[in-house]
Amino acid sequence: MQLTRAGFLVLLWLFVLAALRVVRSDLYAASGLRVAATGFRKNANKTGRGSKAPRQLVVTHGALTGTRISLDGRPIMIGRADDSTLVLDDDFASTRHARLSMRGTDWYVEDLGSTNGTYLDRDKVTAPLRVPLGVPIRIGKTVIELRS
Amino acid sequence: MGSPVPAGEGTPVGRASSTSPGLKAPTRRGTELVMLAFAATLVTGALILVEANQEQELTMQIVYLGLAYLTLFALAHLAVRRWAPYADPAMLPCVALLNGLGLVMIHRLDLAVDDDKATRQVMWTAIALVLFVVALRFLPDHRTLAKYGYTFGLVGLVALVLPGVLPGFIAPPINGAKIWLNFGVFSIQPGEFAKILLMVFFAAFLVSKRDLFTVAGRQILGLDVPRARDLGPLLAAWAVSVSIMVLQRDLGSSLLFFGIVLVLLYVSTERAAWVVLGLVMFAGGAVVAWRLFTHVQTRVSNWIDPFATAQEDGYQIVQSLFGLGTGGIFGAGLGAGRPEIVPEASTDFITAAIGEELGFVGLAALLLIYLIFAMRGLRSALAVRDTFGKLLGGGLAFAVAFQVFIVVGGVTKLIPMTGITAPFLSYGGSSLLANYILVALLLRISAAARTPKTAPKPKVQQPAIADQHTVMVERPK
């Protein structure tokens, strides 16, 4: 009697733990987090040691705040279009709003003829501008910046 | 930067998140099936314990019942496998376990008071699962719901207030609350369905009118306070929720409804001011209601000191507290307590019954299962790409968690007892049906969030962009 009572409670908690396990492994599977995280760390070790090359793009304001995209040299498209690298869900952004691309070791931002413009810090982007680390780029209600 | 103009095209469509190509996301349906089998085993075990402790005859029939239960959920599982293969694997087993333990508990209470609620509840479960399958089948994309936002809102509002205004022979007051529609053979509680309908409406409404709530306002005491004229929707929600409290004498639904509205507003605008304002308004309304209406006064005095009227009004809550006290840490054992002493043990007070027989340890496990369910819902809402899905998913998951809080808070005398059902556990057809539809919607949203983008876009001109290898290192919090 006592044994079955305790046994049932143990089983109940085993279920909880099993569910948590599913959730845990699933956390990584769903977002590719584990793969990305280890890959990123390897990168960091290789090129690290205080070099100031931008390695990721971070969204600091707007609906996607907290999103990070790691930079691998290929251009980053930003806009509402489905195939953009950073898909903005923002009424004030254009379908193809801006592009970040790498020339040499620097990243440049250019506006792709958006309705409301792209701003690097306070300046409207009219021609490709070099993007220093940590300087905000404003697109609609979204603000992004490059970080090392 | 001048005055911003919204740029082109209607609402943006979401898309499945595909962050790293080449990484095949597993559907994890197998895990779901294993977990369902585990849940079925637990439920069968619980049933055996109840029968043994109640000195019933132990026959093979119990095993058949357990198998029938597993079959029922296996069918639901197959439907998920077929129509939402990438849905979350943890949700359905959690729900299955809660529902199963609820059934066992209702059966156990039936044995004590010689009733036959369990059979009816099994029937309701079967109907609810059919509804669940139908919802999955005929709603391949949750975004279609957004198109019917206003219709759903109207229907939901009517359903919510209908029992309150209809005459007594169709909408009889039961235990003081006028929330039922009686159709002779069976009666339904339209408020449960209204909850979901109104959530769809609010999510759709907020997605299309979000700017209205974020653009204007000024800073007062560090809070972004919205303009007075933008308060309309909040005031409307407040009025509806207060009228439920007054007309239908249903405190729980009123609190639940208003909480959902507040959370959706907060999620869509990220402005804490809405929540603060809403809570102040609700507190004001509640105080006025407390002054004016005796049924509210009774609830409050039962909450503050149930022992003062332990044999009259406070009887239910006092017995519930005694039950929980008897259960203690490890509980009396399934079928070995006396949970039937609490009035309404199988509906509003089922958590008290479980707390008595499974103790703190068992009840805590149950609450954790609810938590896992809500957490998975919120996570799906975070991961899904379209704003409507985010809002709806967040709202649905929050609704379940908040409802559990209201019920368990009431039973344990943390907040005044309000009399709503514990999702999936309590006896009650409407609640079960509505909650299974809710699960179907959440699974649909989670499937949308987790489905990897399969065929690459047929755009040959821009291979560099289509093949873009980007890795999302961190998701938004």
Tell me if chain A has a CB within 8 Å of the CB of B279. Answer: no
On average, the pLDDT of chain B sits at 83
pLDDT score at A50: 45
Count CA atoms closer than 13 A to B222's CA, side-chain side: 1
Q: What is the largest CA-CA distance in chain A?
A: 80
The chain A residue lying nearest B30, using CA atoms, is A22
Q: What is the pLDDT of residues B140-152, one digit of tens each?
A: 999 899 889 899 9
Contact A70 B26 (CB under 8 A): no
Kind and range of the H or E run holding A142 = strand A142-147
List Cβ neighbours of B243 (8 Å cut-off, separation of 6 or more).
Answer: B161, B164
Residue B121: strand, helix, or coil: helix
B307: left (phi over 0), alpha (psi -120 to 50) or beta: alpha
Q: Which of B20, B94, B333 sits opposite A5 (nearest CB)?
A: B333
pLDDT score at B10: 38
pLDDT score at B221: 61
Contact B365 A16 (CB under 8 A): yes
Using an 8 Å CB-CB cutoff, list chain A residues near B375: 23
The residue behind tokens 């009774």 is B298
- Which whole-number Å values give the CA distances from B210 to B174, B204, B216, B264, B271, in the listed order? 40, 10, 11, 11, 12
Using an 8 Å CB-CB cutoff, list chain B residues near A81: none
Burial of A92 (0-12, 13-18, 19+ CB in 10 A): buried
Using an 8 Å CB-CB cutoff, list chain B residues near A68: 472-474
Contact A15 B17 (CB under 8 A): no
Q: Which one of A12, A55, A77 would you mutate to disrupt binding with B, by most B Cβ within 10 Å of its Cβ? A: A12
**Shortest CA gap A43–chain B (Å):** 13
Count CA atoms closer than 13 A to A7's CA, side-chain side: 10
C-beta separation of B332 from B358 below 8 A: no
Using an 8 Å CB-CB cutoff, list chain A residues near B1: 116-117, 119, 124, 138
Kind and range of the H or E run holding A99 = strand A98-103
Q: Which of A15, A80, A116 sits opposite B42 (nearest CB)?
A: A15
pLDDT score at A45: 44
* Average pLDDT rounded to a whole number, residues B66-72: 89
User: Would you tell me how many other CB atoms lie within 10 Å of the CB of residue A126?
Assistant: 10
Banded pLDDT at B277 (limits 50, 70, 90): confident
Q: Which of B4, B383, B473 sits opposite A37 (nearest CB)?
A: B473
List Cβ neighbours of A89 (8 Å cut-off, separation of 6 or more).
Answer: A63, A64, A80, B12, B14, B385, B386, B387
C-beta separation of B467 from B162 below 8 A: no
B283 against A30, higher pLDDT: B283
Q: What is the pLDDT of residues B422-469, one digit of tens each?
A: 999 999 889 999 999 999 999 999 998 888 765 444 444 445 555 566
Banded pLDDT at B17 (limits 50, 70, 90): very low
Using an 8 Å CB-CB cutoff, list chain A residues near B104: none
pLDDT score at B473: 64
Kind and range of the H or E run holding A86 = strand A86-87
Tell me if chain A has a CB within 8 Å of the CB of B8. Answer: yes
**Shortest CA gap B110–chain A (Å):** 21
Binned average pLDDT, 10 residues per bin, chain A of 148 residues: 86 93 69 40 43 79 79 83 79 86 85 87 86 87 86
Using an 8 Å CB-CB cutoff, list chain A residues near B369: 15-16, 19
* Average pLDDT rounded to a whole number, residues B154-159: 89
Q: Which of A15, A66, A94 sits opposite B474 (nearest CB)?
A: A66
Tell me if chain A has a CB within 8 Å of the CB of B464. Answer: yes
**Shortest CA gap B102–chain A (Å):** 14
**Shortest CA gap A119–chain B (Å):** 9
Residue type, B100: G
Cα–Cα distance for residue pair A31/B17, rounded to 1 Å: 8
Burial of B1 (0-12, 13-18, 19+ CB in 10 A): exposed
Q: What is the pLDDT of residues B86-123, one digit of tens each?
A: 898 999 999 999 999 999 999 999 888 888 888 889 99
Tell me if chain A has a CB within 8 Å of the CB of B459. Answer: yes
C-beta separation of B319 from B438 below 8 A: no
**Shortest CA gap A128–chain B (Å):** 19
Using an 8 Å CB-CB cutoff, list chain B residues near A33: 473-475
**Whole-model pTM over 0.80:** no
ipTM attached to this prediction:
0.82
Q: What is the pLDDT of residues B318-345, one digit of tens each?
A: 999 999 999 989 988 888 888 888 888 8
B241 against A124, higher pLDDT: A124
